[in-house]
Amino acid sequence: MIIHYDTMEETVIPNFRGGEKEFITKMYTDDKNKIMRGKLKPGASIGFHCHDDGSEIVFVLSGTAKALYDDGEEALKAGICHYCPKGHSHSIINTGEEDFLFFAVVACQ
């Protein structure tokens, strides 16, 4: 199955999970996964939240950000993969001066 992000409409979600500014995404969802290409503009964030129902994998395409992960902090840049297993918490904050672009898969359990 091929997912064509270039033909999908963007969804703009203000203050996603209590974050700052907007989370912009193109997302495919079924009963197993949410598969998305996401964007955070400079200063935007996804609020700190727990993955109670499944894990999330985030692969960075471009830009710089930081992930707050449980009690720690991780630097994110192109080529880095951030993983938040089921039962753990995280947030992503664009710390750069350009858009932070990523590919993510959230397992739905």
- Give 35: exposed, middle or buried? Use CB within 10 Å, 0-12, 13-18, 19+: middle
Section 59-85 average pLDDT:
98
The tally of domains found in the chain comes to: 1
Q: Is 1 within the bounds of a domain?
A: no
Q: Is 54 within the bounds of a domain?
A: yes
Q: Is 10 within the bounds of a domain?
A: no
Give the pLDDT score at 108.
86
Section 33-57 average pLDDT:
97
Give the pLDDT score at 6.
95
Q: Is 58 within the bounds of a domain?
A: yes
Which residue range is the domain that position 92 belongs to? 19-107
Q: Is 101 within the bounds of a domain?
A: yes
- Angstrom distance (rounded) from CA 82 to CA 93: 13
Q: Is 5 within the bounds of a domain?
A: no
- CATH number for 51: 2.60.120.10
Residue with tokens 């912009």: 24
Residue 109 pLDDT > 80: no
How many Cα atoms are found within 13 Å in the side-chain-facing hemisphere of 91? 21
Residue 20 pLDDT > 80: yes
Q: What is the mean pLDDT of the chain?
A: 97
Section 55-71 average pLDDT:
98
Residue 14 pLDDT > 90: yes
> What percent of the chain shows pLDDT beyond 70?
99
Res. 2 pLDDT band, cuts 50 70 90: very high
3-state secondary structure of 55: coil
